[in-house]
Amino acid sequence: MSASSQTNIIWKVLPWLLLIAVLAAFIWVYIDQKTRQQSAWEPPRGETTSIPLNNGRVSDRPEPVTSYHNAVARASRSVVNIYTTQIVQNPYMNDPVLRRFYEFHGQTPQAGQETNLGSGVIVSTDGYIVTNAHVIAQADEIVVALNDGRKAVAKVVGTDPDSDLAVIKVDMSGLEPLAFRELPIEVGDVALAIGNPFGVGQTVTQGIISATGRTGLGVNTYEDFIQTDAAINPGNSGGALVDARGKLVGINTLIFSRSGGSMGIGFAIPTALVEQVMNAIIKDGKVSRGWLGIEVLSQLRDPSQIDNTTGVVVRNIIAGSPAAKSGLKVGDVILSIDGVEMTDSNRLIQHVARKMPHDTLKVQVLRNSKNMNIDITLAERPTQTEVVPPQMPMSNDDPELYLESPEGNANPLSDEQRAQLREELIELFENGARPKVDPLPHQ
């Protein structure tokens, strides 16, 4: 083979040899880097799968949770501060002996003026505001202060002491009503309480929904409270409890406390009840509810027994009431109404309260160990005329429920002290005595 032929063969083979070498080098580098990456340390990582949400429900939790600023900015424009004033007569002037004592000394105690505070929620562009009935109870003047600094005098549209709700109205423009949440709030959802605690100004506190459907607190006639651990204090009454998106879920009403301040157990009236009462007051000026005319008592239950006795015992029947006309008797045990089991008296009260006057209830009762069915046509329930807040405890040994408004002026004299003072004054006037006066100093 000639030299030229060999040279041609080498040039033909050489490119292929170079290509193979380059590929081999590339493969070696790739394998080396892959080995290094696999041996590198990484921190432990948790499961990436999330807990599935309830079917048909949208989560309230922003993803991710970084701030509730947008929700608060939206809702706070609809929450107002409420200031009420009331002329209070001096309690001593109601007693003729004490009045005579003051007149004897040439004194006439003047009437005082009490100022209370609370909160409210704007629910319409034409000035309707929802608050608590106890916030405006017996107020001579109601002043509403908006988030933007504007103020106006409000008039009372109507109150419903049974649910502790009231509607007032201001003549103002540019109002932004707060949207109601459509889906029911659930335990564990984020809750934001907006109000005017202690008069410091609009304040936002954050917590969760601790429970729903709380009843039996003995504060209102109709109770269906939302419980939250968002801080609620005096002045928050009538304010808004909103979700993480700024939608209204309830009206803050009271707390469970040993000291009168927030201890993480607050209660709000849910929007379902607020809407029912609000619409009735705006439309008719009052709330009409069904009424049976009975006094009831829940069946005693033994927590150690697996099978508990349910039902509500009829303790008393008001003469001329729908229950009396239907043939219901004292001692009957109401088992169900309209097919809904009556597990306790609170459930019965709530069920009847949702009905309208003239509605007919199908009541199943137990009488002398026999089941009976009775049809009862409801009448309109008489409404209370005054709101009576629970008494403040004399000590802090036991927790008490407090309506979220400042404590009023207490009577400075007890009954015993007043009686003793009366006796002393009577003796003073009968004996013709004169009060002891220190002599004036000589100049």
Coil, strand or helix: which one is 287?
A: coil
Q: What is the DSSP string of 141-163?
A: EEEEE-TTS-EEEEEEEEEETTT
Report how far residue 240's alpha carbon sits from residue 191's, in angstroms, rounded to the nearest whole number.
10
Report residue 429's pLDDT band, with 50, 70 and 90 as the boundaries: low
Candidate list 237, 262, 326, 345, residue with the active-site label: 237
Q: Is 164 a catalytic residue?
A: yes
Q: Kindly give, in sequence order, each residue whose CB lies less than 8 Å from that of residue 287, ignoring residues fewer than 6 positions away.
A: 158, 160, 162, 163, 276, 277, 280, 281, 383
Residue holding tokens 């002037």? 93
60, 160, 162, 164: which is the annotated catalytic residue? 164
Please choose, from the candidates 229, 231, 230, 227, the residue with its C-alpha nearest in 3D space to the C-alpha of residue 217: 227
- For the chain, the 3-state helix, strand and coil shares in percent, each to the nearest 5, are 25, 30, 45
Classify residue 31 as left (phi > 0), alpha (psi -120 to 50) or beta: alpha
The pair of structure tokens assigned to 8 is 């041609």
> Considering only 154-158, 209-213, 337-341, 417-421, which range has the smallest mean pLDDT?
417-421
The arithmetic mean of pLDDT across residues 377-406, rounded, is 52
**pLDDT at position 427:** 60
Exactly one of 78, 134, 163, 229 is catalytic; name it: 134
- What is the distance between the alpha carbons of residues 390 and 401, in angstroms, rounded to a whole number? 7
Output b/e per residue, 143-163; b: 16+ Cβ within 10 A.
bbbbbeeeeeebeebbbbbbb
Does pTM surpass 0.95? no
3-state secondary structure of 132: coil
Reply yes or no on whether 134 is catalytic: yes
Closest CA to 112 of 418, 409, 415, 414: 409
Convert the pLDDT of each residue in 161-216 to its tens digit. 888 999 999 999 889 999 999 888 899 999 999 988 887 888 899 999 999 888 77
The rounded radius of gyration (Å) of the Cα atoms in the chain is 36
User: Which has more confidence, 199 or 271?
Assistant: 271
pLDDT digits (tens, 9 = 90+) for 332-378: 899 989 888 888 788 888 888 888 888 889 999 999 888 999 999 89
Residue 273 has pLDDT above 50, yes or no: yes
Query: How crowded is residue 390: how many other Cβ atoms within 10 Å of its Cβ?
Result: 13
